[in-house]
Amino acid sequence: MGRSLILVTGAPRTATTPVGNMLASARKTVSLYEPLGPTGMRRFQTWFPMAGDPGAQQLGTLVEDLRDLRMRGLKSQQRGGVFSVKRAFLGSRTLHSYRVARLRIGAEHLIWKDPHAIFLAADIAKQGVPVVLTIRQARAHAASYLRLGWVSRAGELYPRWRDRFGRCDIIERFLPDAGEAVTSAALLWRMCYLPFLQQGVLDHVHLVTPDALMQDERACYAELFGKLGLEQSARTRAMLQAPRSDAGNRPSRGTTHDWGRSVAAVNTYWREILTADDLARIHTITGDIEGPILTSMPGTEPH
């Protein structure tokens, strides 16, 4: 029997890393870190590829290549325009995860952790590949972008997104303000999750939300492991028992990942930094689809 492939994806800043790490702790399981990302497979030259883009014309071939760890060449392992001696010798997380996965004997499952695959995920789910879809409340997602000082590339992505998924009046209404952090995050959130509703594949993916993890992290993962055919290991249990940062201890500005912080703890600091106008705008951009998605999950609180 061949190795199973499990995709973990979601909009950026929706906990794909901690969820992917937890699943990768399962017995006989290895992981591949963002093979579609900036230091990933050379065949992908577009940012956030979509079906039909170069490298993504044949998704079946992509799935088989990843399952069999056939990367067919990687991009430069340097990032950000600054040369790193460490990266020159050791490579990126993508390369490191690939090497570890290749060396692991007897692995039966491969966790493909990759937010860059979000616009391919609905099509991949249709092919029968298990997809774990991480999703935060849109206001928490926008607050994360604001805290980091990030502006999404929603405006740059939209022409390709429109060609693939069709026009969206709400997105086009707010595109002139896509240079602002909160608006750009809300636009990207809508672009990431609307295709799952449009294509009717929500019942084919495994949704994971910080609210469900907040309610009962162990039970949430136990259910997810069971659905995916994964077996918890001693490492899994240790990770679930590890102390987490307090939810009120908001991460500092510019901190992308806090590896000791609970996934559940990051979903409430939006109250500290978003204004009433911010919340109203986020709701206008995302509210019509956020409710149908989040109300299908236990323990969520849609707008």
Q: Tell me what pLDDT residue 297 has.
A: 60
pLDDT tens digit string along 285-297? 999 999 999 876 6
Question: How confident is the model at residue 183, as a pLDDT?
Answer: 98
Q: For residue 295, what pLDDT is reported?
A: 79
In order of 29, 32, 94, the CA distances from 159 in angstroms are 38, 29, 28
Residue 257 to residue 16: CA distance in whole angstroms: 11
What pLDDT does residue 271 have? 83
SS (H, E, C) 3-65: CEEEEEEECCCCCHHHHHHHHHCCCCEEEEECCCCCCCECCCCCCCCCCCCCCCCCHHHHHHH
Q: How far is CA 142 from the centre of its chain?
A: 15
CB 221 within 8 A of CB 22: yes
- Per-residue pLDDT at 187 exceeds 90: yes
CA–CA distance, 61 with 260 (Å, rounded to integer)? 37
End-to-end CA distance of the chain: 45
4-294 topology per CATH: Rossmann fold (3.40.50)
The CA distance from 217 to 221, in Å, is 6
pLDDT (tens digit per residue) in 47-88: 899 998 887 778 999 999 999 999 876 655 556 666 555 554
The Cα–Cα gap between 122 and 126 comes to 6
| pLDDT for the residue 248 | 43
User: Among 50-64, 97-111, 273-287, where is mean pLDDT lowest?
Assistant: 50-64
| Torsion, CA 50, CA 56, CA 61, CA 66, rounded to 10 | -70
pTM: 0.88
